[in-house]
Amino acid sequence: MKRTLSSPIARWGVRVQSTVIAAIVVAVALGIGGAVTLYMLHRANTDAMYRSTARQAYQIATAITHGGPAAVDSDDLAPGAGVDVMQVLDEQGAVVVASPGAPTGAVTLAGYQSAGAGTVPADDSPVYADDVYIPGFHGEYCATAVTARYAGQRYSVIALDRASGIRSSEWTMASIMAVELPMVVILGAGAVYLLVGRSLRPVSRISRRVNEISASRLGQRVPVPEAHDEIRALAVTMNGMLRRLESSHDAQLRFVGDASHELRSPLTTVVGLLDLADDSHTAIDTETVRAVLLPEARRMQHIVDDLLLLARADERGLPLQRIEVDLDDIVGAEIARLKSSNTVVVEPHLAPVRVVGDREMIARAVRNLTDNAARYARSRVSLSLRADGDDAVITVGDDGPGIPEAQRERIFDRFARVDADRRQGSGAGLGLAIVREIVRAHGGSVAVAEGTGGGVDFVVRLPLSADDGPLEGRGRRSVLPQPIAGSAHGLDG
């Protein structure tokens, strides 16, 4: 039922909903205000008539108290000064004194008790009554009755004021309000409709501009209103989103272009050799397969594997096998591998450290960093491992040409290069991007710093396992000299 009732309202839109709500609020407020005003006006008029009739009744009662009914001045009985009819009744309810033109029979008021042919007050307290009707007289009256005593007799003094004119003015006021209230509600609703429409114009412009923006026109931006309100904040937020979309779209285009370029080179080599063999009707010799085809095929396989890993990281994160990993074993293996290559001088600085993570992934990240350092080093590569508070810190450094500070964050992008014209090495530019994804998946961070001996340092921080710290006294290798901050400046792996 709630869905059935709310759905039509929800389809009205913000402008119509605001107008309807404003109209309801104004109508209720004006209705309550008008009712209260009419009630207060009615009470004020009635109280004024009570005061005027009470004043005249007490004046007559005072005269009777001092000299009996005969002492009443005829001028005090004359209609006027807020009193139209005066009557003085005795205990039997007979009229003993009356104003000119007053009815001959006693006027009956609520709150009086019967006594003979007429009525007298039940006690000496005054009695007030409105909506009093006198037989033979037109309209309603407002009356006050008070008691006077003289010579052991009790008299009732009744003063009445015609209320028809005042009640007529009250009805006139109510009629005017009944006509004006809908008009005010309509005018208010119209004003709200126009104002809300004017306020929503920037939203309409934003909607039109967004509908005009396509994948080929992501450089456009929505108009930002001058007013510092929520719509301006919405426009600024949407422009920020469009900038991010444009940046992401450009990155995707660059990524596809770079991937195509990296795959084209080995694929061209393989296809060229196969075409040559097909044209010459000769078999490809084993040496060519080993020296050319197999390395190029493995290069393509390596690029495709890297792309698949990054795609998985983008889609749902890297799947990790969480076990205890001795980082010094991984870093030590890389040190041994570099030393066996005899291409660079390796400076190791290791402390035994253990973390919880995926051994294969961490080993892949460390290898990418060491390969990158060896590729760009002039003669020296440094590897260090230490515990720093709650983190394990791996530092890989080289003495290569270095990386400008402005480029140090960009080198972790896919296919990134410090110099787009420089194509040193055989890497595809994915190694450091993979390092960042692996480190992030482990809750760590990777950064680039100025090398202590020239070049650059790559610093990886990974959270330690809960019971970790330097593994002294556990049969591990001894702690070597203080580690060097460092890492390589290369951009691929």
- The runs of H, that is alpha helices, within 122-229 are 164-199, 201-212
Read off the pLDDT of each residue in 44-65 and give the average, rounded to a whole number.
Answer: 89
pLDDT in tens, 392-431: 999 999 988 888 887 888 888 777 666 543 344 455 677 8
pLDDT in tens, 85-136: 888 988 888 888 888 888 888 887 765 543 333 445 556 678 888 888 888 7
Residue 324 predicted with pLDDT over 70: yes
Do residues 290 and 332 both lie within one domain?
no
pLDDT the model gives residue 384: 93
Which residues touch 297 (CB under 8 Å, ≥6 apart)?
A: 266, 270
Do residues 54 and 138 both lie within one domain?
yes
Which residues touch 417 (CB under 8 Å, ≥6 apart)?
A: 423, 429, 491, 492
DSSP symbol at 429: S
Do residues 262 and 396 both lie within one domain?
no
CATH code assigned at 327: 3.30.565.10
CA dist list (Å): 91 to 64, 104, 105, 155? 14, 16, 14, 6
Do residues 231 and 340 both lie within one domain?
no
Do residues 30 and 69 both lie within one domain?
yes
Q: Cβ of 493: how many Cβ atoms within 10 Å?
A: 26
Three-state SS annotation for 218-256: CCCCCCCCCCCCHHHHHHHHHHHHHHHHHHHHHHHHHHH
- What pTM was computed for the model? 0.49
Read off the pLDDT of each residue in 262-281 and give the average, rounded to a whole number.
Answer: 79
Do residues 140 and 29 both lie within one domain?
yes
Do residues 190 and 311 both lie within one domain?
no
- Give the domain extent around 43: 10-199
d(CA 354, CA 460): 14
SS3 call for 2: helix
Amino acid at 440: R
Q: Residue 332 phi/psi, 5° resolution? A: -60, -40
Count of the separate structural domains present in the chain: 3
**Of 317, 337, 359, the domain-final residue:** 317
Could you tell me if residue 313 is inside a domain?
Answer: yes
Could you tell me if residue 415 is inside a domain?
Answer: yes
Do residues 152 and 189 both lie within one domain?
yes
Residue 337 predicted with pLDDT over 80: yes
Could you tell me if residue 303 is inside a domain?
Answer: yes
CA dist list (Å): 53 to 16, 107, 140, 150? 55, 15, 14, 21
Question: Above pLDDT 90, what percent of the chain?
Answer: 21
- The runs of H, that is alpha helices, within 349-390 are 359-376
Read off the pLDDT of each residue in 359-378 and give the average, rounded to a whole number.
Answer: 90
Retrieve residue 402's tokens.
């270095």
